[in-house]
Structure 1
Amino acid sequence: MLCATVFVIFDTVRTIQDARGQLALIGRAMASDLLDLSPETIVVTLNESIHAYRPDATATLRSADSAPVGLVSHDIAEGPDGIVSLELDQTEALAGIWQRGLGAYALALLIVVLTWRRPGAGDKPDAWQRRTYQTLASAIPLGVACWTKTGSLIVCNQQYRDRLSLNSSAVTYHDAVKQLIQGGYIKLLSEDNHNRLLELHREDGSCLMIDERPLGEGGFMTLVSDVTEAKRTDTLLNAIREEQRLLARRYHEEKLKAEAASRSKTNFLAHLSHDIRTPLNHIIGFAELMKHQTYGPLGDDRYADYVQSIKASGEHLLASFATILDLAELEGGQKQMRSDAVPVDDLLDGMAQRFRGQANRAGLTLVVGEPCGAVLTADRLGMQRMLGNIIENAVRFTPSGGRVTLAAFAAHDGVVLEVSDTGLGMSEERLASLSQPFALGDATFTREGIGPGLGISIARAIAELSGGRMAIDSSPSLGTTVAISLPLPMQDVMQAAE
């Protein structure tokens, strides 16, 4: 009985641990699909797809200071709105424990009775013992059969008969083995001097575990249990683990390829920029000499226009290659960002003064929002270039009579810089293409001097290197809003929290 009690305790702990392990594996297998989702969306997504792994599993959202509701749960995501947990139905998860516990106690009692024999008893038990054996065997929720040392059947319960499709009571151990082998195959798992463990695989896909244990005076007992669901669960877990290993390997390989491609791109652009900028400088220098007619007149007046065109085109190409090289350095992480104290209000006022003349010439109204009083720790020149690229696009693509607004909004943990315009706007397809460098879009955006289309890409790279993110919202004919969220210094966040 002590052994049965220990078995029940061990079985309960193991069942809970296995269930939690399954939830952890399922959570990791689905984690790659949940990176950019809010906790509420994660709950909906998980509840739609988790039933492919465990039909009895659900996803819940609870507060950070509350404990899990059930014994079988696993936390997979934590955010400001709470903790997302996977939970199993406690009744479903622990359903088999009481059955196995009852079987363990009944089996222990049966073994005690079987090993207790009256003096003078022969090889076969008498009628009283048979009734006792039959009563105990019927209470065990497993297929049970007891045999004499010669292989004659002493007693078996109905589950054992159903497993082997036995109709006659006069059956021997060899007959039972033949019946088991039909329609499947037996695999020996372990064997020693006392016990033998077998696994029976049937044609219908079911799997039975056969455990043979010794009894007194040479007899032995056969226990038959259905482990089909356990095998399917193990197969599923192994498949999930293998998929995780493959995904991790592919991710590592693709990461190495992407890093190598990024390094190659940066090196290529650096060499290309150097090789082209050197002759361009010569072209621009000689064009400047010819423009001033340093060594004498050119002759025809049209040559002066040609020289000016050569100089302007060379300077445009030189600026384009400088921009390309800057983007390559930013994306490759090779450009060091300084940590300057940057007052946000001064930054916006400076950018407004810089672009006010250009906006007036384009017939636009340039407006600066209310002060926010925040101070960023960032690269001052980088912040100016980031906002300058965005404001320049807003002024360029806003028709005369429009409006460009600069604003900043401060919170306890960060600042949002916002540039809005009432310009041409963009469709969803055009907006999606902005994440790709050199994307100039359709003919609506093809204007003189637009450049290689790297302004937004450079602004996004500076924002990300500064620890922030950039988001763009736009609608055709209504305008565009570019919002950049940047973190505040940690000491300011701590003071705001106090």
Structure 2
Amino acid sequence: HDAATPPPADTKWYARRDVIGRVAGGAFLPLAVSLGRVPGTDGFCAVIHDITRWKRAEETAEKARAHAEAANLQKSTFLSEVASEIRDPVDAMIGFADLIGSESLGPVGNERYLEYLDDIKRSGHQVIDLVTILHDLAKVESGRMELNFEAVSLAEIVSEVTAVMAPKANRQRVIVRTHLPSSVPPVVGDHDTIRQITTNLVANSIRSTPAGGQLIVSIKYEVETGVSLRFRDSGVGMRQDEIESALRAPGAGQVSSGAESGRLGLPLTKALAEANRAELSIASTPGEGTLVEVRFPPARVLLD
């Protein structure tokens, strides 16, 4: 078909292929060829487009993607190595603090020193928690975390986690309630990481809720949306920019007030949810509380 004469508007197009053409000088040229049948005749027409610009744009985008993936892998590897290097000396510090506190080699001599040892151990365990989160986050980002997908009962996990966290909630004077209907079906996921997600979110809610407040952990099933795991607290709440910051990186979200592990815990929790093919969302109002929802889509729900 003459390039100067466009094909009829009602031409029926059958195929489009990307091919390599050769110009008069011998150089190669990427082309897109569309083949169609001219209506009312037995003839066919072909339209050929020079797609050099599109191919160059694709190559540029592919190089940028590969560069970003390499940079992300390098960052994850670095975080994992740093976490491993920090863990051993901190473990040793905690061990020596335990040994001194036991006074097995002789009395410490002053009660204040024993209090300082408790401070050392407490701080050491906080560092270990941070290192563990960094290590896990690096594994998730680099795709090296092994997951065992199976049928998981969210009700059982919530019951276990809230029982373990009860002493912490009691110390904070936060009431923890659960709503776990037996009609909610299990989901397909990794038991250990879903338990970690639940633990992180319960701990964050307790941490951000003032004395006398409450946390309600519930599960719900809807045919259209799947199974939801919800954490609703009456804590200090967050602005939208604080939510975005808390999910993106260690930031200023009130949900992690006073605890560095909480700041890192939300990005890790979001990454673990996505690794389980679930979606984490946060809705919050300053002064009124926060609702965190982990939703497993219908494709991840096991029905009888």
Q: What interval of TM-score do these two structures reach, taking the shorter chain for normalisation?
A: 0.7 to 0.9
1:385 alignment partner in structure 2: 196
2:82 to 249, 272, 278: 272
2:217 alignment partner in structure 1: 406
Name the CA distance, whole Å, in 1 between partners of 2:262 and 2:279: 23
| Aligned-pair CA distance for 1:435 | 2.5
Say whether residues 1:437 and 2:246 are aligned partners. no
2:134 to 324, 335, 360: 324
Change (3 A) 1:423 1:310: closer
2:240 alignment partner in structure 1: 428
- Verify the 8 A CA contact 1:376 1:487 in the aligned structure 2: no
1:368 to 151, 160, 178: 178
What SS does the corresponding residue of 2:292 show, helix, strand or coil? strand
2:8 alignment partner in structure 1: 12
Name the CA distance, whole Å, in 2 between partners of 1:429 and 1:244: 37
What TM-score results when the alignment is normalised by the length of structure 2?
0.77
| Aligned-pair CA distance for 1:246 | 4.0
Name the CA distance, whole Å, in 2 between partners of 1:420 and 1:462: 20
| Aligned-pair CA distance for 1:14 | 7.5
| Aligned-pair CA distance for 1:263 | 1.8
Change (3 A) 1:348 1:441: closer
| Aligned-pair CA distance for 1:488 | 5.2
Change (3 A) 1:254 1:289: same
Name the CA distance, whole Å, in 2 between partners of 1:243 and 1:367: 60
Name the CA distance, whole Å, in 1 between partners of 2:236 and 2:266: 16
Q: Deviations over 1:125-173 (max 9, x none)?
A: xxxxxxxxxxxxxxxxxxxxxxxxxxxxxxxxxxxxxxxxxxxxxxxxx
Name the CA distance, whole Å, in 2 between partners of 1:376 and 1:286: 44
Change (3 A) 1:403 1:244: farther
1:294 alignment partner in structure 2: 104
Change (3 A) 1:336 1:298: same
| Aligned-pair CA distance for 1:16 | 5.3
1:451 alignment partner in structure 2: 261
Change (3 A) 1:295 1:354: closer
| Aligned-pair CA distance for 1:457 | 1.3
Name the CA distance, whole Å, in 1 between partners of 2:80 and 2:256: 29
After superposition, residues 107-118 of structure 1 pair within 5 angstroms as: none
| Aligned-pair CA distance for 1:492 | 4.0
Name the CA distance, whole Å, in 2 between partners of 1:408 and 1:300: 51
Report the identity percentage. 25
- Verify the 8 A CA contact 1:366 1:404 in the aligned structure 2: yes
Residue identity in the other structure for 2:191: R
| Aligned-pair CA distance for 1:354 | 2.8
| Aligned-pair CA distance for 1:469 | 1.0
Q: Which runs of 5+ in 1 are unaligned?
A: 1-9, 22-96, 102-233
Name the CA distance, whole Å, in 2 between partners of 1:300 and 1:354: 34
Q: Which runs of 5+ in 2 are unaligned?
A: 1-5, 17-38, 42-47
Name the CA distance, whole Å, in 2 between partners of 1:312 and 1:357: 17
Change (3 A) 1:276 1:362: closer
Residue identity in the other structure for 2:130: S
1:473 alignment partner in structure 2: 283
Name the CA distance, whole Å, in 1 between partners of 2:250 and 2:198: 19
What SS does the corresponding residue of 1:295 show, helix, strand or coil? coil
| Aligned-pair CA distance for 1:327 | 1.1
Change (3 A) 1:452 1:397: closer
| Aligned-pair CA distance for 1:359 | 2.7
Say whether residues 1:283 and 2:93 are aligned partners. yes
Name the CA distance, whole Å, in 2 between partners of 1:491 and 1:314: 40
Residue identity in the other structure for 2:158: L
| Aligned-pair CA distance for 1:337 | 1.0
Name the CA distance, whole Å, in 2 between partners of 1:350 and 1:408: 14
Name the CA distance, whole Å, in 2 between partners of 1:282 and 1:473: 41
Name the CA distance, whole Å, in 1 between partners of 2:81 and 2:136: 13
Name the CA distance, whole Å, in 2 between partners of 1:286 and 1:359: 30
| Aligned-pair CA distance for 1:365 | 2.7
After superposition, residues 24-35 of structure 1 pair within 5 angstroms as: none
Name the CA distance, whole Å, in 2 between partners of 1:314 and 1:270: 18
- Verify the 8 A CA contact 2:90 2:124 in the aligned structure 1: yes
1:256 alignment partner in structure 2: 66
Residue identity in the other structure for 2:124: G
Name the CA distance, whole Å, in 2 between partners of 1:477 and 1:308: 34
Residue identity in the other structure for 1:432: E
After superposition, residues 176-187 of structure 1 pair within 5 angstroms as: none
1:204 alignment partner in structure 2: none
| Aligned-pair CA distance for 1:311 | 2.5
- Verify the 8 A CA contact 1:269 1:328 in the aligned structure 2: yes
- Verify the 8 A CA contact 1:377 1:488 in the aligned structure 2: no
What SS does the corresponding residue of 2:247 show, helix, strand or coil? coil
| Aligned-pair CA distance for 1:333 | 1.4
What SS does the corresponding residue of 2:217 show, helix, strand or coil? strand
Name the CA distance, whole Å, in 2 between partners of 1:490 and 1:472: 21
| Aligned-pair CA distance for 1:15 | 4.6
- Verify the 8 A CA contact 1:345 1:374 in the aligned structure 2: no
